[in-house]
Structure 1
Amino acid sequence: MEFRRPGPTPTPWSYWLIRLLFKFVLKIFYGTIVVENTHLIPEDGFPCIVCANHSNSLTDALLLVTSIPSKKRKMLRLTAKSTQFGKKTFTSWLIENAGTVPIQRKRDFEGQEVDNTEVMHHLMKALEVGDAVCLFPEGFSRYHPTIAPFKTGVARLVSDVLSKNRSHSDFKISILTCSITYMHRQHFRSDVLVTFHEPMVFTPKDNPELLKPVDYNVIRDLTAQMHQQISHGTLDSPSWGLVRTSKLAARIYAPLGTRMSLGDHVRVVRTFLDAFKTVRKKRDQSLVQQEDDQHNIDPSFISELETDLKAYQDQLEKCGIKDDRIRREILPRRTIIYRMILRLTWASFLLIISMPGLLLSLPVYVVTFYAVRNFKKTGPVFDTYDEIAQYKLIYGLISGVAVWVIGVLATLPFVLITSLLIPALMWMTLRWIEDAVSSFRSFTALGRLFLIGKDTLKEMYDQRKELHGRIMDMAIALDLPANPEEYFAQAGGKQKGRVQGLWESKAKYFSIRRRRKRDWNETLRLYDKVDYPDDDSEI
């Protein structure tokens, strides 16, 4: 029997406005948002459940909304915890007007019965007309780097929709999994990788095991498959310390910085992370003496390397320098002083020309800073840090719009000019400040090199050389390229970070895609962000 869909739900104007607003705001807050595999997204009109890891509260949903091209899906129907609805706040208005469906969570209604029957019925109707629905299988947003066990709601929803349409042999519903990786999720001008995976397509004819009455083991197996897809595309770690060590291993293995695409960088980090994670799990189970069956690596070799990498990173942090400074040749003191003068002069010049724009941007920074500081006081790290980016985005948007309105009203005779000049000046100020901070950060790093002394640098250089040899042995055993600098310099295409060539650099100076970072780990700070909260504080 042929199945005819009535057509997807019309997209409300408020959804288009929200999508446009936050596409702009997200590109300001995050330095680069790289979206991979958009060609895998099912076309508009085909039922689709989009599932992703959930580590950044409302920001995760906004990223998905803005990352899915409108030519693919005109609307992504969101879901959110019911406690965020019905409040007199901008966040509540935002959620309600984006066509979001409220879901009741047991953790929000202690001692009370939770009934989401009506909500699930609403989602089923949306899927049957060909909508795309966004669900986060973890069930809650978390700050800890470990992806939480998935709830079975998505698999059960697929089963319900298929069972209801079992008489339509050509009915199709897909699960599109997505991995979201934040380099530093709550920090200004950090970077994000959004990776879509091959969708899982289900039909009543090809998947009779999902038709009611369904074996619950089938539901669990499908949920486990989703978990594996999503976790394999991001950094799923039992601790922040292991993420820190894996990022260092990746930088030593392929010290290309942002000349290497963000996607390749994350995948290399994940490869080392998976190896360290496997060995740590065996060590905890008193199985260290056994060898890794898949890659034939002695677990004790990896365990010792993890310990030595941690010690090396601690030493780098104590000296206040990056691994890239150790990798290069030791600079003469005269050269260091000359470069320090250049960096300080350039940083000072950029800071001076940024003053008018900084005065306009100051209210935005002050409002956002106080809003986030007060929010942090409302709970512990594990219950608040996953919402910091959300607060920064929303308060930054509100205060930024207020500055623009006040500026336009104050210059009414020239409104046609100032309405465009104000945002342009604020944007260029951000560009100049990024360059100023980068130059000053380089100035301070050179100053530390000057103070450390050649003997200490030589000792750290020898230590790094020894670590590099061991990391290369491990990388080859893990099936990573044996010539990473040559391989990754050619891979990645337009998704690479650093602008190549003088003409392209000048042409893209005003572009929102322009990059000047040397490392995907950098944010708009005077120091490199390599540490995280203590693991004990997150549990």
Structure 2
Amino acid sequence: MPVVYFLIRSLFKFVLTVFYGSIVVENQHYIPPNGHPCVLCCNHGNSLTDPLVLVTSIPKTRHQLRLTAKDTLFGKRTFSSWLIEASGALPMKRAKDHGGKAVDNSHVMEKLKSALEGGDMICLFPEGLSRYHPQLAPLKTGAARIVSDVLTRNRHNPDFEISLLTCSITYMHREHFRSDVLVTFHPPMKLRARDHPKLLAPVDYDAIRQLTTSMQSQISMGTIDAPSWDVVKVSKTAAKLYAPLGTLMSLGDYVRVVRTFVSAFAATQRGHKEHAPSVLTEDVQLKYATDQAPEEDQPTDAETDDENLDLASALRNLLTQLGLTDERVREPLSRIVILYRVAIRTFWLVCLSTISLPGLILWIPIFIATRRAVNRVKNSGPAWNTWDEITQAKLVHGLGAGLLVWTSCLLVFPPLALFTAVWVPCLMWATLRWLEDAMAAYRALRALFSLLWIGKSPLARAIQMRSKLYDRVMQLAASLGLPDDPATHFRVVGKRQKGQVRGTWDSGARYFSLRRRRKRDWNETLRPYDIVDYPDVDT
């Protein structure tokens, strides 16, 4: 691994660890060993953040991951441009960036093919663009054609094998501070010239398209791929009812449960009566049974699913309007208990806010810098074309502001520079932990106050609507192959993963651990309110 690449990778890992609450990587064992030619293909919904996540998710035993980026990002006097060039990325021209004219990428393609023949691993984003959208764009055939060309050039070598590895990146809330990320690698497609003659020149383009379709299917099934944000919203509502707060489940299990409901509601929205993919247990890990036909005795009733879709949307809107969360409606509290919990949350919020004040002074310049950068991004165009760059802007400007704060602290106290160099980052990290807990306490306090203020009639309506929807969600979950008892099932099959804490002692002992997830809900971020909506991608 080149020294510069190693340093850049370490920088990426540090920045991402601070920005995201946890990055859970699944199935690293599918990554081919070093020296084995590999084409890594992934969905692309978060601009430059996607390659950063991939670079840090590949184990160190695998040498440099060769990336590509649009050529308009190269040659600029910006920090992000320097990062791209220093990481060894290759410039790829896009017709849309050059007035719609034909572009020539033959030189870059030749470098990629040569890298594969040398046993390297290259990374491509077959969607061809990054955008803020709930659904994957149709994959382009470039990756399959590169594999075809490399196999053709090595057709007389019976031992030459190239792996086509797909990966799915799922951001809970891609642009929000302290959100969570799931990176899932899928079983690689191992290709040899003698086993796939249709991929050799003269190429059968049906084979190229079939290979691309297989890639699209794998990537789609590993992430929340929905036709609209509305489907994502109601699917998360259904998942929260099916596996309520307190269910010990990994991020991967949660994403697959949401994906299952997405499949059902998306089919309903399209007006189809197809059966959604099931989530089954296999080798103590949930996998999609995509190769099995639906059972005839479990048909999906389109009219019932459509009613479920409307009811889930209505419940979500009602809870948002009342300022309540699902757990407050699921287990109604007496007024005495509410007042007791208000007192506890208030005390906890005051304590956390007080001890956070010294470190918060150091964080304020960073928050201001990132806020200004985000406003510039949002004002530069429609959401679908610009919001994928928000995370990138926050990472770059946050890192710059953080380094400036750290350097300023060293200059203010020169005699204590060695002590300050370590003490300042530790204080900022501890403050971040306290702020996460303070925000959680504030959100709980808001919900408790809402319970005190709303009348009995609206609350009774919400409880009744939730009860009705819960029964329907459990029926739908059973028809989709989800476990009947999620609380027990996910606690048993779930492996100990990064971000999971089990037991009181484990929670207290690792309070400030870099690997500890401070959240009870995978949808939480460092915000004073629960995020339930997404921007209109057409604006």
Pair in the same fold by TM > 0.5: yes
Structure 2 residue aligned with 1:403:
405
Give the one of 215, 226, 231 matched to 1:226: 215
Q: Give yes or no for the alignment of 1:130 onto 2:132.
A: no
The secondary structure found in structure 2 opposite 1:114 is coil
Name which of structure 1's ranges 295-304 and 246-255 shifts more when overlaid on structure 2: 295-304
Structure 2 residue aligned with 1:20:
10
- Measured after TM superposition, the shift of residue 458 of structure 1 is 2.7
Do the aligned residues in 2 keep the contact of 1:83 with 1:108 (CA within 8 Å)? yes
Letter of the aligned partner of 2:365 in structure 1?
Answer: P
Deviations 1:225-259 (CA, angstroms, capped at 9, x unpaired): 00000001001111001000000001101114562
Structure 1 residue aligned with 2:306:
303
The secondary structure found in structure 2 opposite 1:473 is helix
Give the one of 51, 60, 68 matched to 1:70: 60
Give the one of 429, 439, 449 matched to 2:431: 429
Structure 1 residue aligned with 2:76:
87
Name which of structure 1's ranges 435-444 and 239-248 shifts more when overlaid on structure 2: 435-444
The secondary structure found in structure 1 opposite 2:81 is helix
How far apart are the structure 2 equivalents of 1:295 and 1:146? 27
**Structure 1 residues 110 and 293: CA distance shift in structure 2, 3 A:** farther
Deviations 1:6-52 (CA, angstroms, capped at 9, x unpaired): xxxxx322211111011011111111111000011001100001110
**Structure 1 residues 535 and 373: CA distance shift in structure 2, 3 A:** closer
Do the aligned residues in 2 keep the contact of 1:46 with 1:131 (CA within 8 Å)? yes
Deviations 1:197-220 (CA, angstroms, capped at 9, x unpaired): 000011111111111001111111
Letter of the aligned partner of 1:80 in structure 2?
Answer: A
How far apart are the structure 2 equivalents of 1:373 and 1:536? 18
How far apart are the structure 2 equivalents of 1:298 and 1:224? 28
**Structure 1 residues 496 and 250: CA distance shift in structure 2, 3 A:** farther
Structure 2 residue aligned with 1:99:
88
Give the one of 305, 316, 319 matched to 2:319: 316
Give the one of 165, 190, 214 matched to 1:176: 165
Letter of the aligned partner of 2:73 in structure 1?
Answer: Q
Structure 1 residue aligned with 2:390:
388
Deviations 1:283-316 (CA, angstroms, capped at 9, x unpaired): 699xxxxx99694121111111001110011001
Name which of structure 1's ranges 274-283 and 451-460 shifts more when overlaid on structure 2: 451-460
**Structure 1 residues 111 and 505: CA distance shift in structure 2, 3 A:** closer
- Measured after TM superposition, the shift of residue 370 of structure 1 is 0.7
How far apart are the structure 1 equivalents of 2:96 and 2:157? 38
Do the aligned residues in 1 keep the contact of 2:383 with 2:538 (CA within 8 Å)? no
Structure 2 residue aligned with 1:250:
239
The secondary structure found in structure 2 opposite 1:50 is strand
Mapping for residues 357-368 of structure 1, pairs under 5 Å: 357-368=359-370
How far apart are the structure 2 equivalents of 1:77 and 1:270? 30
Structure 2 residue aligned with 1:514:
516
Do the aligned residues in 2 keep the contact of 1:259 with 1:497 (CA within 8 Å)? no
Do the aligned residues in 1 keep the contact of 2:90 with 2:108 (CA within 8 Å)? yes
How far apart are the structure 2 equivalents of 1:203 and 1:473? 45
- Measured after TM superposition, the shift of residue 64 of structure 1 is 0.3
**Structure 1 residues 366 and 130: CA distance shift in structure 2, 3 A:** same
The secondary structure found in structure 1 opposite 2:400 is helix
Give the one of 107, 115, 136 matched to 1:118: 107
- Measured after TM superposition, the shift of residue 459 of structure 1 is 2.7
The secondary structure found in structure 2 opposite 1:494 is coil
Structure 1 residue aligned with 2:43:
53
How far apart are the structure 2 equivalents of 1:258 and 1:77? 39
Name which of structure 1's ranges 470-479 and 254-263 shifts more when overlaid on structure 2: 254-263
How far apart are the structure 2 equivalents of 1:292 and 1:273? 19
Do the aligned residues in 2 keep the contact of 1:497 with 1:517 (CA within 8 Å)? no
How far apart are the structure 1 equivalents of 2:246 and 2:41? 30
Structure 1 residue aligned with 2:378:
376
Name which of structure 1's ranges 511-520 and 358-367 shifts more when overlaid on structure 2: 511-520
The secondary structure found in structure 1 opposite 2:122 is strand
The secondary structure found in structure 2 opposite 1:138 is coil
The secondary structure found in structure 1 opposite 2:399 is helix
Structure 2 residue aligned with 1:6:
none
Deviations 1:470-494 (CA, angstroms, capped at 9, x unpaired): 1111111111111112111222222
Do the aligned residues in 2 keep the contact of 1:258 with 1:496 (CA within 8 Å)? no
Runs of 4+ in 1 over 3 A off after TM superposition: 291-295
Mapping for residues 343-492 of structure 1, pairs under 5 Å: 343-492=345-494
Structure 2 residue aligned with 1:192:
181
Structure 1 residue aligned with 2:283:
none
How far apart are the structure 1 equivalents of 2:348 and 2:484? 39
Structure 2 residue aligned with 1:334:
336
Deviations 1:498-520 (CA, angstroms, capped at 9, x unpaired): 52222111111110122232211
Do the aligned residues in 2 keep the contact of 1:50 with 1:176 (CA within 8 Å)? yes
Structure 2 residue ranges without an equivalent (≥5): 275-293
Letter of the aligned partner of 1:531 in structure 2?
Answer: D
How far apart are the structure 2 equivalents of 1:292 and 1:145? 29
Structure 1 residue aligned with 2:263:
274
The secondary structure found in structure 1 opposite 2:190 is strand
Structure 1 residue ranges without an equivalent (≥5): 1-10, 286-290
How far apart are the structure 1 equivalents of 2:377 and 2:503? 44
Structure 2 residue aligned with 1:7:
none
**Structure 1 residues 294 and 363: CA distance shift in structure 2, 3 A:** farther
Do the aligned residues in 1 keep the contact of 2:384 with 2:537 (CA within 8 Å)? no
Deviations 1:128-181 (CA, angstroms, capped at 9, x unpaired): 101100000000001111100111000000000000111111001111100000
Cα-Cα RMSD? 1.7
Same amino acid, percent of matched pairs? 54
Structure 1 residue aligned with 2:286:
none
Deviations 1:27-80 (CA, angstroms, capped at 9, x unpaired): 111111110000110011000011100000000000000011112x12111100
